[in-house]
Structure 1
Amino acid sequence: MTLPPSFDLKTTSEQSPSRGAIRTPPLRSLHTFAVAARMGSFKQAAESLCITPQAVSLQIRNLEQQLQLELFIRHPSGIELSPAGEQLLDYVQRGIGVIERGIREVKEQQQKTRLRISASPWFAVHCLLPRLPEFEQAHPELDVDIATSVPFPDFAAQRLDIAVQWGFGQWPFSHKQLLLTDDKLLVCAPDLPEQIPLRQQNDLTLHRLLCTPLSVELWRKLLNTLGVDALVERQTLPLDSHAGLVEAAIRGLGVALISVPDARQAIDNGQLVAPLSDRPISELNPALMPGYWLVLREGAEDNPAVDCFLSWMHDWLDHHPRAARASLSWS
């Protein structure tokens, strides 16, 4: 096929943009259009915008030329919106509203005080996150950032204000306090003692000791209290989470120290048994009672945002059955 000599593909493409390619008008022109439409007068729009009526008229005319639409019907006595102008005004007003709302939200976000918290996964899921909307509603000036961590977090690297971690309060911080106790019960699958003896304390040396990475020390303390000479490092099987620990115990993979509420429920369901004693291990020695501890960054006790969080936690703990009954204050 031979094209006519005057037919230039490149020139035609450049001179004939697709119908969908519309250059967005300047935001100032759209704003001027919206003001003029609202006031029904170029003169009043000019006074509102602190420019001349001629400038308003020029912006509107340039906008009409760019869009190839008549936006206003001009009369000797004034102006009125054309049908196209009425339709465009609806979109422009909604667009300006979105922009204004976005600017307001960005400014509010910049003005908020950020409160950074790290928490053990169990505490975050069961205690913090379900109640976070309540705290945020009560303190809209605060931006709360919650991260989860099994090992104790790095306050400096993560720029934390507060940590809530499982343990025995062993961390070298000036301001720390026990929030919730987490007493344990020694349990195993019902058929495990039938396969491997578990009638007395020393029989624990015959079994795999299930634990999480943080609770290895709890096994060591318990065996010392019982006077059992065991190689904890060789006998323990660390699992990633407390939920995994419960599942492994139910499957008969070893003996576990399970949080009392979970252990009682599994025993009632016939999934686990307490082979040596149905008493929590803290009754043997109060030092065997781990829990969830609140730890403050050094200097954070003077932070008003931290004080708000502590007051909120105190109100919640007043109604929690496992709460350590102590006031959250550092005086």
Structure 2
Amino acid sequence: MRKLPILKSLHLFEAVSEFPSFSKAADGLNMTTGAVSYQMRTLEDWFGKRLFVRHSAGVRLTSDGDQLKRRCESAFTMLEKGCYELRRCDAGRSVVVGCSATFLSHSLLPRIGGFRQAHSDIEFVFKTDADLNSVAVGALDVLFVCGVLKQPLPVDEVHVSNEMIGPVCAPAALDAMKGSVDILSIPLLHESLKLDAWNEWAKATAICLRGSRDIVFDSFSLAIEAAKGGLGAAISPEVLVRSNLEKGELVAPFGFTPVNRSIYMLVSEHAQTIVAVKEFRRWAMAEILGRA
């Protein structure tokens, strides 16, 4: 029998070490401050040394605490990876895909029907709350991420496509636009979380948007629906409106302009040899990333 501290205490220590104080850790972990403090004190008693320095503003790790944190991170990552590998070893022809809800609803789901017709035996599990660690430990087979990612990435197999953005509107709105400056003749539709998207496009295309009429929506989906309904023009990454353009629901009067972001498709190490994942990866590179 291994003589170790209670595993739950070590797991809690790793989480608590990310916070500047026990009270903030308690709030973030849905515990009481007293419970967090007691668990950390018990762990310190087991080691016979301080893991935290308590000060007026909160806590910080001692050198011993920092060493324990690194070892916990390494051990728990290895354990988590092993558990997911065991869980997936008899999963059959299934693919676990992680991405944002917006990417799933506007990019993957509108196009994946064709893949399913050709590969009806492959099942999918979609997760919209995944992160880079999820693909590193094997909780995901494939992860799509949009943005700028710091190197190095947690997996070896990464496929990248430059993100392109541009205005989209209903076909009827084209009558009011003869050139790019005419974009100001209709309202500009914004997503509340990305209010700078129009300015980003304007900067990339050297167009002035002063005097524009702006309408803000809570989500990308609502902004796109408003554009389809003729309420104005929305700014969008090309990958999210490709199906709308193909169906004729939207048009991109000025095309799409590259910006300083990328679309990444990361494939976990354990999934790289799975036939179903290989087939999905090949399809996604052509249909989603635009790379045959």
- TM-score range (shorter-chain normalised) is 0.3 to 0.5
Give me the TM-score of the superposition, normalised by structure 1: 0.40
Structure having the higher Rg: 1
Higher relative contact order (CA 8 A, sep 6+): 2
